[in-house]
Structure 1
């Protein structure tokens, strides 16, 4: 497929070369022609100097036949404007914008523009590497308020209902991985041995939630 990328910084250049390795055609747009040096000599895609939200520039980049558009410049406003032009003017199916401000990311998600909130995403990646297994978040919504994490459960929770775990930890069980399959729990779902339980929790409560899950239930079941 054909992909148009706005922004030839480190992320844009890396994304462009990765897509080319996967045999996709790529066009990269950047206001600074010198930025294209990051692509290297092996890059064979189109390099267009100009604003990525300019209609004529996008047409030159092949936006009319593009299946995907990525706005990864260093400006939130430029990224979201370009993403909306790609989606609303040219009808590109797959559009994503990099956003530094998590509050803006939440707003743009509501507008139907998928976003990558750089700071929260990067923070989570570091947490996964720094913290013990089961503590770091598996996913965080764009505003950074709600996190989904794998709970390190005490063995005493086996045989308990998910509602009991939710009440004890102050979280919501989002899904359970059981025998390699994901299941959506109901209030009657009982935790089984070898279940991997993922919960949704407010970001500021993650430590308390995980500590509660590590403890045995107060009552035996």
Structure 2
């Protein structure tokens, strides 16, 4: 996939690096010659110096053949212009970083496929860390109607040594919740468990549940914040 990134700031460059490592062809567009040089020499992607909302520069960068455009410019107004131009060029996937929520509807009207609010993500992550320190990570789906939790299974955890079937039949297990992933240790692959899967101490599980059942799930498992590892958050 050929991905064109508007903006070679911290987010744009890290996105470029991640996409490159996944095997995609990546190019960035930025007015800063130093940022473009860094992108070429340090990240290893193509870089085009100039405005990301200039049709001349976008044509040079190959927007007509782009499979996706990521708008990561610092200004919502500039990002909106890039989204609009990308749509006019017929780019099938347009992802944009949003700073101000007032731009959500304009982005959608302009044709953005995905609008990512970096501020909302940061706030939600910090709130979750403060409210549920026992949870290694948490993801929201369907506008927060469903939560996916990554939880440790320490040796003194209530479910350690029990099978999925035994846990599912336990009347104290939060109704409507499911254990959908199991990792026996940190270096092992994540697998989809079945009823016979036994949850060993030191393992990790993925649980799907409702927002109102998160605390109940943590209490059911009997884990506390002291079991929560210190994690480095990717920026």
Partner of 1:95: 94
Aligned 1:105-116 pairs, distance under 5 A: 105=104, 108-109=107-108, 112-113=111-112, 114-116=114-116
Aligned 1:132-147 pairs, distance under 5 A: 132-134=133-135, 137-139=138-140, 146=144
CA contact (8 A) 2:40 2:47 kept: no
| Offset, 1:106 | 5.5
In structure 2, the residue corresponding to 1:41 is in which secondary structure? helix
CA contact (8 A) 2:6 2:72 kept: yes
Relative to structure 1, is the Cα distance of residues 59 and 106 closer, same or farther in structure 2, using a 3 angstrom cutoff?
same
Residues in 2 aligned to 1:195 and 1:71: alpha-carbon distance in whole angstroms: 32
In structure 1, the residue corresponding to 2:13 is in which secondary structure? helix
Partner of 1:66: 66
CA contact (8 A) 2:28 2:46 kept: yes
Gaps of 5+ in 1: 163-174, 182-193, 217-221
Scaled by the length of structure 1, the TM-score of the pair is 0.63
Cα deviations by residue, 1:16-37 (Å, 9 ceiling, x for unpaired): 2333334432221112223224
Residues in 2 aligned to 1:195 and 1:34: alpha-carbon distance in whole angstroms: 43
- 1:198 aligned onto 2:209: yes
Residues in 1 aligned to 2:124 and 2:62: alpha-carbon distance in whole angstroms: 35
CA contact (8 A) 1:137 1:148 kept: no
Partner of 2:117: 117
In structure 2, the residue corresponding to 1:70 is in which secondary structure? strand
Cα deviations by residue, 1:115-170 (Å, 9 ceiling, x for unpaired): 110101122333455533459751267xxx74642489xx645495x5xxxxxxxx
- 1:77 aligned onto 2:77: yes
- 1:39 aligned onto 2:36: no
Gaps of 5+ in 2: 152-169, 182-191, 194-204, 221-235
Residues in 2 aligned to 1:57 and 1:148: alpha-carbon distance in whole angstroms: 42
Of 68-77 and 30-39, more deviation after overlay is shown by: 30-39
Aligned 1:157-168 pairs, distance under 5 A: 157-158=172-173, 162=176
Relative to structure 1, is the Cα distance of residues 140 and 107 closer, same or farther in structure 2, using a 3 angstrom cutoff?
farther
| Offset, 1:112 | 4.4
Relative to structure 1, is the Cα distance of residues 37 and 148 closer, same or farther in structure 2, using a 3 angstrom cutoff?
farther
